[in-house]
Amino acid sequence: MIERWIRRWDANGVGQFIVELDGTLIGRVGFLVWDAGTWETSTYDLAGAHAETELGWAILSPYWGRGYATEAAAAAREWIDRERIVSLIHPANVRSQRVAEKLGARIEKKVEMPAGPADVWVHP
Domain count, the chain: 1
Crossing angle for the helix pair 94-102 and 68-79, to the nearest 10 degrees: 50
Q: 57: which strand partners? A: 29
Q: Tell me: the pLDDT tens digits for 9-38?
A: 999 999 999 999 999 999 999 999 999 999
* Arithmetic mean of pLDDT over the chain: 96
What residues make up the domain containing 33? 2-122
Residue 52 has pLDDT above 80, yes or no: yes
User: Rounded mean pLDDT of 100-121?
Assistant: 97
pLDDT at 76: 98
User: Rounded mean pLDDT of 28-54?
Assistant: 97
Rounded to whole angstroms, the Cα distance separating 48 from 38 reads: 12
Reference 43, options 4, 100, 79; nearest CA is 4
CATH number at residue 115: 3.40.630.30
Question: What is the 3-state composition of the chain as percent helix, strand, coil, each rounded to the nearest 5?
Answer: 35, 40, 25
Reference 119, options 17, 39, 28; nearest CA is 39
Q: Report the b/e string of 75-86 with b at 16+ CB within 10 A.
A: ebbeeeeeeebb
